Amino acid sequence: MATTRYRLGVDVGGTFTDLVIINEQTGKIDITKVLSTPRNPATGVEKGIRKIVEKIGIQTNSISYFAHGTTVATNAVLEHKGAKTALITTKGFRDVLEIGRQRRPSLYRFDVDRAKPLVPRNLRKEVTERILFDGIIHEPLDEGEVRKIVKELKEEGVESIAVSLLFSYCNPTHERKIKEIITEVFPEVYISLSSEILPEYREYERTSTTVLNAYVMPVMDRYLGDLTDRMRRLGVSADLLVMQSTGGTMTSEVARKMSVHTLLSGPAAGVIGATYIADLVGYKNLITVDMGGTSCDVSLVDKGEPKRTTDGKIGGYPLKIPIIDINTIGAGGGSIAWIDPGGALRVGPESAGADPGPACYGLGGEKPTVTDANAVLGYINPRYFLGGEMSLDVKASEKVISKHIAEKLGLDITEAANGIVEVANANMVRAIRVVSVERGYDPRDFVMVPFGGAGPLHASKLAEELNIPRILVPSAPGVLSAMGLLTADVRHDYVQTYHVKTCDAEPESIAELFASLEERGIETLVEEGFPVEKSIVMRYLDMRYLGQSYEITVPMTGGFTHDSLKEAEQTFHREHERIYGHSAPDEPTELVNLRVVVLGRNEKFKLPELPAAQDPVEKAMKEVRRAFFSEEGGYVECPVYDRGRLQPGHEFYGPAVVEQMESTLVINPDQRVWVDHYGNIHIEVGV
């Protein structure tokens, strides 16, 4: 008899670590949550795995697939707790990290400082060498000087070295030689070359991205090494896959070297999970809202494909790698409400996190949070938090809201709590407009997919505010990021600068460069155990009008011919029109970069379809509870439904609350609710 195999997804958030495990034979899903352990997230992961295998009664050696989303690299950057890092660069470019693009972070504020460089000036070293824009060596590398510098860095106790030389994307010879010398003189140090991390023009962004990789690589290497050891001791033999910022996974071995690609690991998994669930029911255009304990991450999916960008930032540092276009703000359940010097109510970005957490957790939190406000307004059942595993102290919430907000603003507790929720909602509405309206998309053409522990609490209000007509709430919204880990493909992205007028581009040269990038990707997939026949290659061009500063990425389809280049050019004009509201088809264009995406297809699991409801929807009602709805003028008695009892075909109207183990859904008055055959909830907003 064949052993039943299971797939496990683990997503570490700021407050909770979420786990989803799926039976490969039946498609049955089991979930659990444990409090995150910020000092060492691997402890929380191990605790969660022990809990979930005990819950469903299986052995750890039956886990055949293990994917992980992590905030370790993100937190290292945001908290400035990465490795002691040095930079070796071309003579004259020591201060590129400091000068940047000379832009003010905020045009009209005089008190805003730039993010402090991750490499202090005394650890930024210059070497004598010069490669020209066309790859020709103008001045040879002074190898003796490099040896001297490396010895100095060794004496300084540097953990990691970034190497970013001018025009190394055209000719990496000097960077590779420096790596040889570092390996010989200082073999224990971590090394990041810009020609390997980002062989793309724009020296500031390339240097910043390479430094970010060097800064987080030792942290990720230690974390993934520790986690792998723990998994082996637990008996989990499956290879560890790590979610990338692109929405694809990579092996832990690759992640330990290319750690910069994990900087938006967790949020990306949520977008992939939302895309998968929505595709099952025929929705292709989505706005995803992932509201957890610490932050809210919003993104847009267009025609079934998450929007990606190469102009990201983290902690104020440019991140010039492909990432899912996610706008993150400090608006989570643990976000703290406060009064600014002008007397205005603010929410976030500071969060109470998992420790001490909101006041209602009873773990020592003394500041009012969004979760405290939701508890006071009657949305969260204090006896059923985490399915009853944790009880909430609503009196503690009332106390801190009264002390810090209500008394200072002359409001009663209900008004103060509602104000906290409304301010948090306003922050999220602005964030959603950034990824939709400001990108040329109309929110009315999209379906909202809320998830995370707190997303469904706020979705109805957000959709009304933005005129989004429909909401899709997945069957397990509180752990959708962990589920997304189980649907993601293994993915590797490659880029090579190729700067030329489109009319002068040589198809043969483009074909040769694409072939080189594709070969690297296929080799990596084969090393990871994916057969060549299961790989998929996609090609893209970065294009712009002649003289523009920034590019638009368009697909390169068909063969390598002048006709295919013209087709890409027409696509560019259309995209420019959509994004900016105008285009100039008669103006010349130019190519800037060639991009290749190589995918190793992950065999998608199939969610089981549920039988139609046999009982009336009233059977799913567990109680009637007072909850606050401003549309009704205050607190009203509204039905509370048990999500586990709602079945396909059930239908009802708001106001209502739907409870489940890992999340709570609030439905506003007059909104129509129905359940599909996968157990997802659809809300017709009626805007």
- pLDDT tens, position by position, 135-147: 899 999 999 999 9
CA distance 145 to 167: 20
- Contact between residue 335 and residue 369 where contact means Cβ atoms under 8 Å apart: yes
| Chosen domain end from 389, 408, 424 | 424
Q: Does any domain span residue 583? A: yes
pLDDT in the model for residue 388? 64
Clarify whether residues 72 and 153 are in a common domain: no
Clarify whether residues 133 and 64 are in a common domain: no
472 Cα distance to chain centroid: 20
Q: Does any domain span residue 178? A: yes
Q: Does any domain span residue 56? A: yes
The number of distinct structural domains making up the chain is 4
CA distance 369 to 351: 8
Clarify whether residues 18 and 132 are in a common domain: no
State if pTM tops 0.85.
yes
pLDDT digits (tens, 9 = 90+) for 45-97: 999 999 999 999 999 999 999 999 988 888 888 778 899 999 999 999 999 99
Clarify whether residues 86 and 209 are in a common domain: yes
Clarify whether residues 377 and 399 are in a common domain: yes
For 52, the domain range is 6-77+221-246
Clarify whether residues 91 and 59 are in a common domain: no
Give strand pairing partners of 625.
638
For strand 470-473 and strand 447-451, is the pairing parallel, antiparallel, or unpaired?
parallel
**Helix or strand holding residue 249 (H, E):** strand 249-251
For strand 137-139 and strand 160-164, is the pairing parallel, antiparallel, or unpaired?
unpaired
Q: How many CB atoms lie within 10 A of CB 662?
A: 21
CA distance 380 to 393: 11
What single-letter DSSP state applies at residue 331?
A: -
Clarify whether residues 370 and 414 are in a common domain: yes
Clarify whether residues 209 and 233 are in a common domain: no
Q: Does any domain span residue 174? A: yes
Q: How many CB atoms lie within 10 A of CB 99?
A: 11
CATH number for position 22: 3.30.420.40
Clarify whether residues 68 and 123 are in a common domain: no
Q: Does any domain span residue 283? A: no
Q: CB under 8 Å to 527, separation ≥6 — which residues?
A: none
389 Cα distance to chain centroid: 28
- Contact between residue 300 and residue 433 where contact means Cβ atoms under 8 Å apart: no
Q: Does any domain span residue 551? A: yes
Clarify whether residues 124 and 172 are in a common domain: yes
Clarify whether residues 500 and 370 are in a common domain: no
The residue whose two tokens read 């994307």 is 169
Residue 221's alpha-carbon distances to 44, 70, 73, 432, 666, in angstroms, are 18, 13, 10, 34, 41
Which segments of the chain have a pLDDT < 70?
1-2, 14, 102-107, 112, 354-355, 386-389, 687
| Chosen domain end from 384, 404, 424 | 424
Q: Which amino acid is at 593?
A: N
Q: Which two tokens stand for residue 430?
A: 């602005």
CA distance 495 to 246: 14
Q: Does any domain span residue 495? A: yes
Q: Which two tokens stand for residue 41?
A: 């997230």
pLDDT in the model for residue 1? 41
pLDDT in the model for residue 73? 87
Clarify whether residues 367 and 341 are in a common domain: yes
Q: Which amino acid is at 280?
A: L
Helices then strands (H, E): number in the chain?
A: 17, 35
Measured over the CA atoms of residue 200, residue 205, residue 207 and residue 213, the dihedral's sign is negative
Q: Does any domain span residue 43? A: yes
Phi-psi category of residue 440: left, alpha or beta, with phi > 0 → left and psi -120 to 50 → alpha: left
CA distance 296 to 293: 8
